[in-house]
Structure 1
Amino acid sequence: MTPRLLFRSVAIAETITWVLLIAGMLMKYGFAVGEIGVQVGGFLHGLVFIAFGLTALLVGVNQHWDLRLTSIAMATAIVPFATVPLNRGLEKNGLLIGGWRHTRTDDPRDHTPVSALLRWMLARPVVLAGIMAIALVTIMATLLTIGPPGGTS
């Protein structure tokens, strides 16, 4: 899976979970159906929201995005449906071209400790997947412990 395909897939999934969350909120507050839609949609959206942030960080490092662009990419998950237009813009500007950077090149950006760590993780995809899964679960568990945005209703 290329960085482009991974980023695009998670961006679309993030948008789909926004639909689920908003539909759950409409069911709860508009039609008084109950909380199940918000509970399921909110949980799924939370997981994919965090996965998108982690994916944006991973792809941003791989693609040599600067900190500003990487931060903007991560932040677009906050705005409903913004990840898909972001993906299109990145593709249009050639910022998702290329594969994973498994080897160091002459590019000075490939000589940083972050790039070396990326190459190390890419050489060990099971370790990378495990690190991403642990990060996802840790962030989600922390957020669930803190509680939902705006408190409970």
Structure 2
Amino acid sequence: MTPKKLFTLFAFAEAVTWTLLIIGMILKYGTRTTDVGVSIGGGIHGFVFLTYCVVTVLVGTSQRWPLGLTVVGLLCAVVPYATIPFEISTRRQGLLEGDWQLGRGGRAPRNWFERLCAWAISHPAAAVVVGLAAVAIVFTVLLLLGPPV
């Protein structure tokens, strides 16, 4: 999968899951009918939010986006539907074109972070397994610590 296809997929998915979460919030807080929408929509949105952030960092690092642009891409996930205009802008600027610049056959990584990104791009299945394990560990630790005070 190219950086363009991957980024476009998750930018769109992030916007769609915002819709699920907003509908759930309207049902819970507006109509006071059910909180199921927040539970389901919020969980899906949280997963896609985190995945969009990882994809943004991978694509931005591989394609050598300026750090500021990558940060803007991450912040767009916080604002409902902002990932769509950000994706359109990066596509129009040609920042999503071409194959992965890191990974097999790409440029050599310059530091440990680029080496990590290159490994994840070259070994996506293993990266997903490692990522899911890391999220599960962090999630478990947070559950053990309890809710914020």
Using the size of structure 1 for normalisation, the TM-score is 0.82
Structure 1: stretches of 5+ with no match in the other structure = none
User: SS where residue 9 of structure 1 aligns?
Assistant: helix
Alpha-carbon displacement from aligned partner over 1:28-83 (angstroms, at most 9, x marks no partner): 12211121111111111111111111110011111111211111111110000000
Q: Is contact 2:109-2:118 (8 Å) kept? A: no
**Hey, what does 1:17 align to over in structure 2?**
17
With over 3 angstroms needed to count, the CA separation of the structure-2 counterparts of 1:57 and 1:139, relative to structure 1, is farther
**In structure 2, what is the equivalent of residue 134 of structure 1?**
133
- Which one-letter code corresponds to 2:123 in the other structure? R
Q: Is the 8 A contact 1:51 1:136 kept in 2?
A: no
Give runs of aligned pairs for residues 21-100 of structure 1, distance below 5 A: 21-100=21-100
Q: Which residue of 2 aligns with 1:123?
A: 122
Unaligned runs of 5+ in 2: none
* 1:5 equivalent in structure 2: 5
Number of matched pairs: 145
The TM-score normalised by the length of structure 2 is 0.84
Shift of 1:138: 4.8
SS in 2 for 1:78: coil
Using the aligned pairs only, state the percent identity: 36
Q: What SS class does the counterpart of residue 64 from structure 2 fall into?
A: coil
Report the 3-state secondary structure (helix = DSSP H, G, I; strand = E; otherwise coil) of the residue aligned with 1:79.
coil
